[in-house]
Structure 1
Amino acid sequence: NAVIDYLAAQFKSDNGVDLKSDKLALQRLKDAAESAKKTLSSATEAQIDLPFIASGEQGPLHLQTSLSRAKFNEITASLVKKAEQPVLNALKDAGLSFSHIDEVILN
């Protein structure tokens, strides 16, 4: 949701339209954010292109932007920090250490 919030806020700032108030636009935004997250697992930048995402006074509006891995990390830093202690506790309770973890899959 952090990426969705970021993209929606950026679009609202640029165009004066709140994508979160439109269910279809919000779903398209969610799908694009998920795709960007997956792309960023193997690339340093993800392109987000949502044509005709909304309508403004001048006609159709499009969301075209890029999201860097650095910006993604910045946007999600508080969520990662929030999850840190529960993960450490779970590892401790399971008798495991970081060396037992091969990969992390975010959903």
Structure 2
Amino acid sequence: MAGGPDLLGTQAIQDAIDQAAHTLLLRGVVALVAAALTLTFAVFARNGSLVPRLIVVLALFWTAGINTLIVMDVAGSVTKVAGTVSAVVCLFAVVMALLPASGRYRKALNQRDD
């Protein structure tokens, strides 16, 4: 029936699918923005000063939180695996960002040149 009542709720189902797709798209865009900001801050933190490294740590925690939110949502299995791996890598990167620079490689190069 072309103009009859919607007995099976197909419009409600379609609305739910559209809302879920929009939510996943929005979370994907936010995750990409978080990744771009983290990479930008990481470039500034190359010199090893403390403030840029702390900003990178905050950006990494933000990114890990977003990835955890994506993993806990209705996403496909590949997306869940990628989000989990990304969150674990973010936590590992936080530890690496806060370690003091040792400079052993540079010292070894300078001793070799002498």
Q: Same fold (TM over 0.5)?
A: no
Please state which structure has a larger fraction of its residues in helix.
Answer: 2
**What range describes the TM-score normalised by the shorter chain of this pair?**
under 0.3
Q: For CA contacts below 8 A with separation 6 or more, give which structure has more relative contact order.
A: 2
Please state which structure has a larger fraction of its residues in strand.
Answer: 1
Q: Point out the structure with max Rg over C-alpha.
A: 2
